[in-house]
Homo-oligomer: A and B are copies of this chain.
Amino acid sequence: MKNIIRENNRRHNELREISFDLNFINNAEGSCLVKFGNTHVVCTATVDDRVPMFLRGKGSGWVTAEYGMLPRSTNTRMQREVSKGGLGGRTQEIQRLIGRSLRSVIDLKLLRERQIIIDCDVINADGGTRTAAITGGYIALYLACKKLLEDRIISKMPITSMISAVSCGIVDGVHLLDLDYFEDSSAEVDANFILTNDNKIIEIQATAEQKSYTQEDFLRMLELARVGTNQLFELQKQALGI
């Protein structure tokens, strides 16, 4: 395998330093400051007694997500989306992905007519904000569900399995796990994997940025993603004390 030197001498199959700072925002029903290296995302879970219009009277709950970036989370200041007059395509794609992923590991019926909103706000961005958001969003969601259970508002834990997410890519011909911004910018292929702790797949997005890739390339990235998410599941368990 060709060699590539990564920041902090990371190996090709090594995650960045990961941390979860639980209950970072006191007001929220669940919250977490998740760090994947220099990518820092504040994730909060809000329990809301109203469900979206299409679910009213159906006896089922909902999980949705919103995603934002502070203007100076990036190296060059970004304009606020409110100033641009609406949510950009990238923001909408990411928040739809976070919501869809988290909904796939929760039994919405157990929530009854109740919505949990996961807000993921990027404080520092250095690549992989969406995978950090999903991984930390899971923590916030778990905490909020636990609170609902402890407050006897729901009678059974609705979360059905653990979920975490990580990016992989091909940079200069080398398959890498958990790309930072610099690596991501020069990647030929960029992929995001959202996996469960029972070895299942929730979502795969794998995009040729500069040139097409082969099935073999794909399978090597999937393997790296398994390595990464297995470590993330351990860290999530430690953080949650489960």
Contact = CB atoms under 8 A, between A and B. Distances in A.
Contacts of A121: 70-71
Interface string A222-240: 1000000000000000000
A201 B213 contact: yes
A117 interface: yes
Contacts of A96: 89-90, 93
A12 interface: no
Interface residues of A, number: 63
A206 B212 contact: no
Interface stretch (A14-22, A42-50, A51-59): A42-50
Q: Assembly of this chain: how many copies?
A: 6
A77 interface: yes
Question: Which of A48, A77, A104 is packed against the most chain B CB atoms within 10 Å?
Answer: A77
Q: Is the interface of A mostly helix, strand, loop or mixed?
A: mixed
Interface in A81-114: 81-83, 85-90, 92-93, 95-96, 100, 104
Interface in A183-219: 196, 198-215, 217-218
Given A25-B123, A27-B124, A71-B119, 17 more contacts: A25-B70, A26-B124, A27-B74, A27-B75, A44-B72, A46-B71, A66-B80, A77-B119, A82-B82, A82-B87, A92-B93, A104-B208, A161-B212, A198-B212, A199-B214, A201-B217, A202-B212
